[in-house]
Amino acid sequence: MTGTLEQIKQAVISGKHKEIETLVQTAVDEKVDLSSIINTALIDGMDVVGQQFASGEIFVPEMLIAALTMQKGLAVIKPLLKGKDSKSKGTVLIGTVKGDLHDIGKNLVSMMLEGAGFQVVDLGVNLGVEQLVDKVTEIKPDILGLSTLLTTTMPEMQKVISVMRQRGLRSSVKIMVGGAPVDAHFAEKIGADGYAKDAAGAVQLARKLVSGN
Amino acid sequence: MKSTPYNLIMSALYNGKKGSRPPAASVTSIVCHDLMDASGVSFPEAHVNSEAMAELALAGHEIIGFDTVMPEYSVHQEAAALGCDVDWGSRDQMPDSRNAPYADFSDVIIPENILEKPSMRVVLDAISKLRRHVGGRVAIIGKVMGPWTLSYHMAGTQNLLLQVGLGEKDKVVKMLRQLMPVTIAFAKAQFQAGADIVVLADHATGNLVGSYHYKDYLLAIHQEITSQIEGPLILHVCGNCLDRIELFADAGFDGYNFEWQVDSKVAVAKVGHRICLVGNVNNAQTLLQGTPDDVRKQVRYAVEAGVNIIAPECAIPLTTPIENLKALVAAVHEGY
């Protein structure tokens, strides 16, 4: 890895959001391959952040700053990718189910997925079953991501999946679920395709679901 | 000699003294659809009408058998009084705020008559009604939000955590200190209205923030709060807080309501001699999805580990079967 790429990666890991744009611009000026800046520096940096979060070394405040840093870095590169081969890894429709206005976990997953090359359509919070199912029909995503923080709203996830089955939509989209009260057992029980315990895990799961492995 | 529910709870709270059996408490909401149906009182009325609020709290004792009555089910009573636009929800949906009025971290304006705001008055009136009805016989539990939770409501949760991440400590601590008097005033008013214990919920939640954040931002404030409120306080913080459980004891709380993710034996070994442990029956997997026998096993594990008061780990899902709550109570009646 070039020195600048390593510096970009470290800037993401330590959340140096004020320095990231200059560093990425330096790499661009040095004619470093754009996909290397994204994959080797920004995404790899975020993967390290995800691991640190999973192991309890850092928490949401630090994770938010790292994601903000990555987004600022990506913003420098995005205009340069226009017209070039920058194929999306897949489309993810994501939102928090009805009755729940919590969105930090969902936002972090969105940011990480975007950084990892997915096209993300974030529908927001407090989403009714009909609203979600209608959007799946309209957008035809590869993955539907459902989030909840509250134990009080967990049953809403099951309702979404039931209605999708009734409408014959279930097989057309992979469904992943997450949030504090949710676990793999619950995901299996309600008929989801997968569960991830944190944002880094959600990226890995999404990669797996679109690859079909 | 037969103990009353009140005596069981209070003796368990004070230095974990054992009565004839472990007590079962509702320190967070134990309201589910089955309980609403059985009592004839439903959300959202029970958030905004003191009679309905008290009736539903009483149902937790009379129908399920908890040794406590706790009439506050939402975490938005203070938020509404401080200017949040609160949606009081429905039978199927807990209340939530539609806005964060101090997202810019400007000075929080505390209304002079804040205790008379409808969302605060309703809780105080419900506690007084319960006092008249079951006072001295069943433990009456009040609930207030701590300044960290109130800051989530005032500034927005993600916004607050972002400022913490950015190292804007002065800005965050200023807001916490401006909100601290609301917590203290509401707790004192609840004791005056007739509460025996007040739960202080402050969501410096494990997995969301670290123990170092708690130490940097909140410990000193919690110490001030506990020193200014004379009645017994049970702290409620969600998530796996094993890394900061000793700090909760340092903060001066009399009890701590903890989650299933923290093994009760480990919790007892760490702080059981310093703080009354309240918990820690799992909500999502056990109370919501498990069988009465699953619930019994968890209760017995917690009792044998030395947990002083048995309770759900957090506000229960609305679709929790009432049989599982009754199983929790039945399991404490097996004794020690």
The chain-wide mean pLDDT, for chain B, equals 96
**Is some CB atom of chain A closer than 8 A to the CB atom of B107?**
no
Task: Please compute the mean of the pLDDT values over residues B296-303 and round it to a whole number.
Answer: 98
CATH number at residue B195: 3.20.20.210
For testing contact with chain B, the best of A151, A156, A185, A188 (most B CBs within 10 A):
A151
* A105 lies in the same domain as A153: yes
- My answer on whether A164 and A99 are in the same domain is yes
Q: Is the pLDDT of residue B50 over 70?
A: yes
Does A57 lie in the same domain as A156?
no
Instruction: Note whether residue A171 is domain-resident.
Output: yes
State the Cα–Cα distance between residues A127 and B209, nearest whole angstrom.
27
Tens-place pLDDT, residues A2-12 = 799 999 999 99
Say how many Å lie between the first and final Cα of chain B, rounded. 16
Contact of B99 with chain A, judged by CB distance below 8 Å, is answered with: no
Res B10 pLDDT > 90: yes
**Which pLDDT score is estimated for A38?**
86
**If you average pLDDT over residues B263-287, what whole number do you get?**
96
The DSSP symbol for A93 reads E
Let me know if residue B336 belongs to a domain. Answer: no
Do A98 and A195 fall within a single domain? yes
How many Å lie between the alpha carbon of B116 and the closest alpha carbon of chain A?
Answer: 28
Does residue A101 have a pLDDT over 70?
no
Stated pTM of the model: 0.90
Q: Say how many domains are in chain A.
A: 2
ipTM (interface predicted TM): 0.90
Of the three residues A34, A58, A81, the one that is the final residue of a domain is A81
Does residue A73 sit in the same domain as residue A97?
no
In chain B, % of residues over pLDDT 90? 92
Residues A103 and A198 grouped into a single domain: yes
Domain membership flag for residue A62: yes
Q: Are residues A95 and A199 in the same domain?
A: yes
- The stretch B71-79 carries a mean pLDDT of 97
Residues of the domain holding A160: 91-211
Residues near B45 by beta carbon (within 8 Å), at least 6 away in sequence:
B52
First to last CA, chain A: 29
Question: Among all residues of chain A, which has the CA nearest to that of B31?
Answer: A152
B315 close contact with A: CB closer than 8 A? yes
Q: Which domain range does residue B76 map to? A: 5-331
Beta strands, E only, B63-218: 68-69, 86-87, 96-97, 139-145, 197-201
Residue A144 within a domain = yes
Q: How many domains does chain B have?
A: 1
Residue B41 has pLDDT above 60, yes or no: yes
Could you tell me if A110 and A187 lie in one domain? Answer: yes
Note the pLDDT of residue A83. 61
pLDDT at A103 over 80: no
Are A101 and A77 members of one domain? no
pLDDT band at B192 (very low <50, low <70, confident <90, very high): very high
Contacts 24+ apart (CB under 8 A), B271-274: B271/B245, B271/B246, B272/B16, B272/B306, B272/B308, B274/B246, B274/B249
The domain that contains A62 carries what CATH number?
A: 1.10.1240.10
Q: What is the mean pLDDT of residues B86-103?
A: 93
Mean pLDDT value across residues A171-190: 90
Residues A62 and A115 in one domain: no
pLDDT attached to residue B1: 63
pLDDT at A100 over 80: no
| For the ranges A42-56, A171-185, B198-212, the one whose mean pLDDT is highest | B198-212
**Å between B158 CA and nearest CA of chain A:** 6
Q: A81, A108, A135 — which closes off a domain?
A: A81
